[in-house]
Amino acid sequence: MLRAFSSGKKNTFLLLLIVYILSHLVFRICISDSLEKDESELILQFQEGFKLGYGAQPPLYNWLQFSFFNIFGLNVFSLVFLKNSLLFTIYYFLFKASSIVLENDYYAIFSSISLMLIYNFSWVMHKDLTHSVLLMALCSVSLYLFFKVFTENSKKYYILFGVFLGLGILSKYNYLLFALSLLISGVMIKNIRRRIFNKNALLILLFFLLVVSPHIFWCLGNTNSLFSDLGDFKIGDSQKYAFRFSGILLFLRNTFYFLGPLLFIYAFFFRKGFGKYTNKLSAKGDYKHLLEVFFVSAGLIILAAILFFDVRYIKERWLQPILFLAPLYFFLRLDSKPSSRKVKIVFTSLIGLCAIGTLFSVWARIPMASIRGRYNRLNYPFSNLSQSIKDEGFSQGLILAEDNIIGANLKLAFNDSLVLSPLLNNQIVADNSFNKILVIWEDESGNNFEPNGMGELFSRFNISVREKTPIDKKFLYKYSKSDYYKVKILILERNEV
């Protein structure tokens, strides 16, 4: 029987984790009221209402985000609150899962907070990811439930595991890589197979199908939308063998980039973890073997995708559902060899410094953008722009924006307006009840007429801008004293169209 986790250490861990997550939330809200790319898509998709699918991404994040919008309003806080709640879930449930299989209190905590030493978690997830954050939250919860099924063999955990397997698929499709690898590893370990794959396993299948079936039916009727992002994988090429080899090299390189810095730090603090493992017959030995089969299974699935489906582009963050378990595996190897108190304190302090450094560096890049002369989307002065548009006499109507970033930020300012862009929401049915039309595009090319990509929207609403003179608008970027963000706008009366 594994030792109960010390309540004192658990409470301290939870308190510090909450402070860390809340700090990111407060910084994000205080730094800027403008939107990132993924946030902008969510704002515009909110106009579509509840659907079983939204293009190439599964719908679960949209459903959650729309619920937050309905509760807290259409604003930046709703976006940030959901995302940071999910970030908390990642760390917390990885800790909960680790505390089941690890006897050492500190190592259970280290398995979770070690993610702060991995660039794709400590930095990338706080910038502009949404669906990937939900994916990792559900991977952490699924792992915890998988261990609970094994240790307690209760029907409620079989049901919950099935539900969260389904929710995982609805978060992001590469959750399937995590789920398949986990289930394969469970089948391969005798002691785990007997506890998980029995008659109660039908509950897992039943509730999984109940959760995913509606979306599967949607996918069957919307294959074009479903595969619209397939080009990201760079599938197929005339030089097949050369690109298959480059795909394998890229996979290995990104795995090294993902884990290299973490393993370097582990080698400095926990050298014993790289030695021979001797506790093979214990329950921990089963868990260690489980994760080894998990990593091998995932690797073979990825290699199969490269070799047989010509997938030749693997991003580092696509490896998150697999490699986030590397810290837990390492501390399973180390669990029987406790480290000194000094090592634990210094290692904890290092992670604390990394967390603080990440917190400030992630958000300091916005105020310091003017030094580099490269401005982030959060530097865009949309609050000033929106007020200026109101001063021009536009308060409500149809907004045709050149891209999602512009459109979504204006949606925040003009809640009652319908916003469309060439990149999203073209299928929304718009009636003719609006009295004014706002057309807006960035002033980069000096082209006054026919902004890039908006011809289809103009044709749809029978709009001609050839004989119109746009209004030039420019405002200083947030935190800049000399650089301007420039746009052109047209405000049309309905009877002018």
pLDDT digits (tens, 9 = 90+) for 331-360: 998 866 667 888 888 999 999 999 999 999
Same domain, 327 and 469: no
| Token duo for residue 382 | 């949309």
* Distance, CA of 444 to chain centre: 31
* Distance, CA of 107 to chain centre: 26
Tell me the DSSP string of 113-160: HGGGGSHIIIIIHHHT-SHHHHHHHHHHHHHHHHHHHHHH--HHHHHH
Please choose, from the candidates 153, 143, 145, the residue with its C-alpha nearest in 3D space to the C-alpha of residue 198.
153
Coil, helix or strand at residue 227? coil
Same domain, 52 and 131: yes
Listed residues 332, 364, 396: the one ending a domain = 364
* Domain presence at residue 415: yes
* Domain presence at residue 210: yes
Using an 8 Å Cβ cutoff, are 37 and 408 in contact?
Answer: no
| Token duo for residue 59 | 């719908």
The domain of 234 spans 7-364
List, in sequence order, every residue forming a beta bridge with 440; answer none if it has no partner: 401, 489
pLDDT, mean of residues 414-433: 77
Same domain, 164 and 39: yes
Q: What is the largest CA-CA distance in the chain?
A: 82
Same domain, 410 and 333: no
| Token duo for residue 460 | 């749809």
* Domain presence at residue 409: yes
CA distances from 367 to 379, 475, 481 (A): 8, 16, 11
* Domain presence at residue 454: yes
Give the confidence band of 424 by pLDDT, cuts at 50, 70, 90.
Answer: confident
Listed residues 321, 342, 364: the one ending a domain = 364
pLDDT, mean of residues 407-423: 93
Number of domains the chain contains: 2
Same domain, 263 and 313: yes
Please choose, from the candidates 481, 323, 489, the residue with its C-alpha nearest in 3D space to the C-alpha of residue 391.
489
Same domain, 247 and 111: yes
Same domain, 384 and 358: no
* Rounded-to-integer distance, Cα 63 and Cα 115, Å: 27
Residue 295 pLDDT > 80, yes or no?
Answer: yes
pTM here? 0.92
* Domain presence at residue 2: no
* Rounded-to-integer distance, Cα 77 and Cα 22, Å: 12
Give the confidence band of 1 by pLDDT, cuts at 50, 70, 90.
Answer: very low
Listed residues 330, 364, 398: the one ending a domain = 364
Q: Higher model confidence: residue 141 or residue 102? A: 141
Amino acid residing at 36: E
Please choose, from the candidates 391, 423, 396, the residue with its C-alpha nearest in 3D space to the C-alpha of residue 43.
423
Please choose, from the candidates 43, 80, 73, the residue with its C-alpha nearest in 3D space to the C-alpha of residue 419.
43
Query: Using only C-alpha atoms, what is the Rg of the chain?
Result: 25
* Domain presence at residue 369: no
Same domain, 384 and 351: no
Residue-averaged pLDDT of the chain: 86
User: End-to-end CA distance of the chain, in Å?
Assistant: 75
Same domain, 467 and 339: no
Helices (H), 4-152: 7-31, 37-45, 60-72, 76-101, 105-113, 119, 125-127, 131-152
Same domain, 353 and 383: no
Using an 8 Å Cβ cutoff, are 378 and 36 in contact?
Answer: yes
Same domain, 391 and 474: yes
Non-local (6+) Cβ contacts of 391 within 8 A are: none
Same domain, 355 and 398: no
Phi, psi dihedral angles at 488 (to 5 degrees): -120, 140
Residue 233 pLDDT > 70, yes or no?
Answer: no
* Domain presence at residue 259: yes
* Domain presence at residue 372: no
Place of tokens 């990111």: 24
